[in-house]
Amino acid sequence: MNTWRAYRSDHARFAAWCGAQDPPESALPAAPVVLARYLVAHAGARRPATLARWCSSIAVAHDLAGHPSPTRDEQVRTVLAGIRRTHRTRPARVAAASPDDLRAMMIPLDPKSPRDARDRALLLIGFAGALRRSELVALTLGDITLDSDGLRIFIASSKTDPHALGHTRGLSYGSDPATCPVRAWQAWLQHRLHSPTAQPATGDPARTEPGRPAPGRPGTGDASRLLPAAGAFVAVDRWGRLGEAALSDRSVARIVAERADAAGLPGHWAGHSLRRGFATTAHASGASEVALMRHGRWRSSSSMRGYIDEGTVWSDNPTRRLGL
């Protein structure tokens, strides 16, 4: 859903620019020379990666409308390659979570607090499962099952699973109870069973913010939130009352950033920190690329390596063998 929202936004920006030209240009279908001018006009203010994403969105819009995509024209490709060479920038990356970072985030969490229990489970499952934000918030209670070896996570659909065939991944018990995703999930389920539920607010329901519980009196619990289709991670208000709606992907990013800030961790933290952290940590520990790609659902080793943090720069570094 987030990908399609970005496609629409990117193409709408292109259409607005085309409409502002004198004379106005067609955005769909667009001529390659128009797209090339559009890229040049934004080259100084936008990163090459952003311009490449815009081209992908424009290509999708043309494909869906049955028009030849201008992005495949050699003129556009040449312009984009020239922009990359001229405006080289260091890739902006979010911090990659490590096990030590996660332990630091866990220290201030109170196991008796529903919100803290939720965040602990969300952080550890997101990390161990190499989950994207969209995959985390799409999980239901029925998607997470416990067996003798740990948790089985069913990912119904993902960015690399366009046909929604689904993937099942296993999360084993952790050696440290404080950072064990299985124990964290079990603790969060206990809060789901026993914590009060926020009651529907009176007035206009449209004024209630999505993904947050409506204000009201504490309830005695609602069995519907424990049905298999109920969201795995739901909102918790300041009084510890649980909402019914699943968290949004933006909420996941905010939770990661806030917990990292509370732990005093440097760098830019976001939802992607969990997935990048998994790739970095697993690679540094010697996990095979095949296992990494399978668990993280990467289509190619090159795309998987893009997630590995610079912290692995010393792993099997050849300069150690130079005898200097």
245 membership: H or E segment, kind and range = strand 242-246
CB–CB of 140/146 below 8 Å?
no
What six digits make up the tokens of 2? 């987030």
- pLDDT (0 to 100) of residue 111: 92
Across 268-278, average pLDDT: 93
> What is the Rg, in whole angstroms, of the alpha carbon atoms belonging to the chain?
23
Q: Is the pLDDT of residue 317 over 60?
A: yes
Matching residue, tokens 């299985």: 182
| Banded model confidence at residue 216, pLDDT cuts 50, 70, 90 | very low
- Global pTM value: 0.69
pLDDT digit string, tens, across residues 158-188? 766 666 678 899 999 999 999 999 999 999 9
Instruction: List b or e across 238-251, with b for residues whose CB sees 16 or more CB atoms inside 10 angstroms.
Output: eebbbbbbbbbbeb
Q: Give CA angle at 319 (314, 321), nearest 5°.
A: 110
The count of residues in the chain is: 324
Bridge partners of residue 147, in order along the sequence: 150
Within the chain, where are the H helices?
2-19, 32-42, 48-65, 74-86, 99-106, 114-128, 133-138, 181-194, 249-262, 272-284, 289-296, 301-305
User: Measured between alpha carbons, how far is 53 from 49 in angstroms, rounded to an integer?
Assistant: 6
Q: pLDDT class for 203, splitting at 50, 70, 90?
A: very low
